[in-house]
Chains A and B, each alone.
Chain A
């Protein structure tokens, strides 16, 4: 088995199918480890990781932090609201100052697309992208695909619909790349205003009718409406969105098959998904969270193995 083909994890776009499969096999072992009474291994005890979050996050941040702790890495956490970024320091300066304290790896979330790539070209550390604006969120896509593989046995040949605010979603783009590399068929579904105009060029199907989309698919990945990124009104009201594009039990019951339902969180209950569905037996939302730690351990472990001393 080979190494990863990349030195940094910027996006799924840069990964090969072999990379993704290597990450999944490694995650299988870590999943076993995090279910042990003592959930820690000493592999990364000489690695220091900085978690730089220039944008809010709960799940991803805790998940990365836990993954790093389970691998015995030393970690420092940084959030933009409590830092010198507020005093006008540039991204490169902030990161270089942190690296001067001998940090090996940086996990970064940033509101600007391309921030992770920008950084990886300018600083000497391994970069893991934890979400850069509306661009990519690679570890989320990996854990989504990993959860589908766990639930359905494999990803190849499965039909996956990504439902909701595609325009502002980094999860959608990373998911499209990841699922396609693994051989799944992908469809996006949402209001016309929230679907990027040329998304069809990525080889995905586009549908504006939720019923037709659900009838087609085996898996539905439901995304949140990202109001914080919407500078103009893209649809009349949340109530109307919930009526036309919300996933509820009535529509699921009317299908003559069982879907697997994913949601990357945070959930806006009653908007894109009802509580009944989110807590129902088809939703694997909490499995996704558990798998997130295993996937992030695998990615961190594999990238750390490429750091030279």
Chain B
């Protein structure tokens, strides 16, 4: 497996700051906006953005986490059952502007499930999508992100991993490529 850093620590930090500023441009003081992180890996992005935004704006931002396990379209097409994580949205999203947050946008199927799962909490006035990495040209559904940290062109057999200081020990994004002749 070949490893290639596509976003190093410095750029990682810059990218998240840029995403935060793009959010502020569109959402002003966030009074009508809620941020929803998709379980499991979107939560890290959400936590980081919330921290930056609250520092910049000086007010609390409403955030929730959403688990999409029971809304997936590959139930029973996998070897093992999907193990759910926690959903925590203790407010109604009725008439709110929702920003869905995830780390990597790939086939679009997770986001499709997320949209479905989200509707159980009300009818938002709009839903936007923010991702750190957009794996372009790999979409299986007509879904695109509104805020993109970095767009990369990848092959199906490659894997993109967004890593975090708190979990993996370093903020960075890595592209894994299988070596020729193996796998």
Q: Which chain A residues have a beta carbon within 8 Å of chain B's beta carbons? A: 1-3, 25-26, 29, 32-33, 36-38, 40-43, 71, 301-302, 304-305, 307-309
CB-nearest residue of chain A relative to B67?
A29
- B67, B75, B116, B117 interface centre (most CB from chain A within 10 Å): B75
Residues in A whose Cβ lies below 8 Å from that of B87? 29, 32-33
A sample of 7 inter-chain contacts (CB < 8 A) reads: A26-B84, A33-B87, A38-B120, A41-B71, A42-B71, A305-B81, A309-B76
B84-142 with Cβ < 8 A to chain A:
84, 86-87, 92, 116-117, 119-122
Q: Roughly how many angstroms separate A3 CA and B81 CA in the complex, as a whole number? A: 6
Residues in A whose Cβ lies below 8 Å from that of B119? 38
**Cross-chain contact of A36 among B69, B71, B83, B121 (Cβ < 8 A):** B121
Residues in A whose Cβ lies below 8 Å from that of B81? 1, 3, 26, 301-302, 305
CB-nearest residue of chain A relative to B88?
A32
B179 within 8 A of A: no
Q: Least Cβ distance of B71 to chain A in Å?
A: 6
B80 and A3 form a contact (CB under 8 A)? yes
Q: Roughly how many angstroms separate A40 CA and B81 CA in the complex, as a whole number? A: 19
**Cross-chain contact of B120 among A3, A36, A308 (Cβ < 8 A):** A36
Residues in B whose Cβ lies below 8 Å from that of A307? 76
Size class of the B contact interface (CB-based, 8 Å): 20 to 34
Residues in A whose Cβ lies below 8 Å from that of B92? 37
A37 and B121 form a contact (CB under 8 A)? yes
Q: Given A41-B70, A41-B71, A42-B116 in contact, is the A32-B80 Cβ separation under 8 Å?
A: no
CB-nearest residue of chain B relative to A29?
B84
Q: Roughly how many angstroms separate A209 CA and B116 CA in the complex, as a whole number? A: 56
- B69, B70, B80, B120 interface centre (most CB from chain A within 10 Å): B70
Residues in A whose Cβ lies below 8 Å from that of B122? 37
CB-nearest residue of chain A relative to B70?
A41
A1 and B76 form a contact (CB under 8 A)? no
B76 and A304 form a contact (CB under 8 A)? yes
A2 and B80 form a contact (CB under 8 A)? yes
**Cross-chain contact of B75 among A3, A37, A43 (Cβ < 8 A):** A43
Q: Least Cβ distance of B95 to chain A in Å?
A: 14
Q: How many A-B contacts if CB must be within 8 Å? A: 52
Q: Roughly how many angstroms separate A307 CA and B76 CA in the complex, as a whole number? A: 7
B76 and A25 form a contact (CB under 8 A)? no
Residues in B whose Cβ lies below 8 Å from that of A304? 76
B120 and A40 form a contact (CB under 8 A)? yes
Residues in B whose Cβ lies below 8 Å from that of A3? 80-81
Additional 16 contacts, C-beta under 8 A, given A41-B71, A42-B116, A43-B71: A1-B81, A26-B81, A26-B83, A29-B69, A29-B70, A29-B84, A29-B86, A29-B87, A38-B120, A42-B70, A71-B70, A301-B81, A302-B81, A305-B75, A308-B76, A309-B76
Residues in B whose Cβ lies below 8 Å from that of A33? 70, 87
CB-nearest residue of chain B relative to A36?
B120
Q: Least Cβ distance of A71 to chain B in Å?
A: 8
Q: Roughly how many angstroms separate A29 CA and B81 CA in the complex, as a whole number? A: 14
A1 and B86 form a contact (CB under 8 A)? no
Q: Roughly how many angstroms separate A38 CA and B82 CA in the complex, as a whole number? A: 21
Residues in A whose Cβ lies below 8 Å from that of B121? 36-38
Q: Least Cβ distance of A87 to chain B in Å?
A: 37
A37 and B67 form a contact (CB under 8 A)? no
CB-nearest residue of chain A relative to B92?
A37
Residues in A whose Cβ lies below 8 Å from that of B120? 36-38, 40-41
Residues in B whose Cβ lies below 8 Å from that of A25? 83
Q: Roughly how many angstroms separate A71 CA and B81 CA in the complex, as a whole number? A: 15
Q: Least Cβ distance of B91 to chain A in Å?
A: 11
Q: Least Cβ distance of A131 to chain B in Å?
A: 25
CB-nearest residue of chain B relative to A46?
B76
Q: Roughly how many angstroms separate A41 CA and B68 CA in the complex, as a whole number? A: 10
Q: Roughly how many angstroms separate A1 CA and B83 CA in the complex, as a whole number? A: 7
CB-nearest residue of chain B relative to A304?
B76
Residues in A whose Cβ lies below 8 Å from that of B117? 41
Q: Roughly how many angstroms separate A25 CA and B85 CA in the complex, as a whole number? A: 10
Residues in B whose Cβ lies below 8 Å from that of A309? 76
Residues in A whose Cβ lies below 8 Å from that of B84? 26, 29
Q: Roughly how many angstroms separate A38 CA and B117 CA in the complex, as a whole number? A: 10
Q: Least Cβ distance of B73 to chain A in Å?
A: 9
Q: Roughly how many angstroms separate A32 CA and B64 CA in the complex, as a whole number? A: 14
Q: Least Cβ distance of A293 to chain B in Å?
A: 15
Q: Roughly how many angstroms separate A36 CA and B87 CA in the complex, as a whole number? A: 10
Q: Roughly how many angstroms separate A302 CA and B76 CA in the complex, as a whole number? A: 10
Residues in A whose Cβ lies below 8 Å from that of B69? 29
**Cross-chain contact of B70 among A2, A37, A43, A302 (Cβ < 8 A):** A43
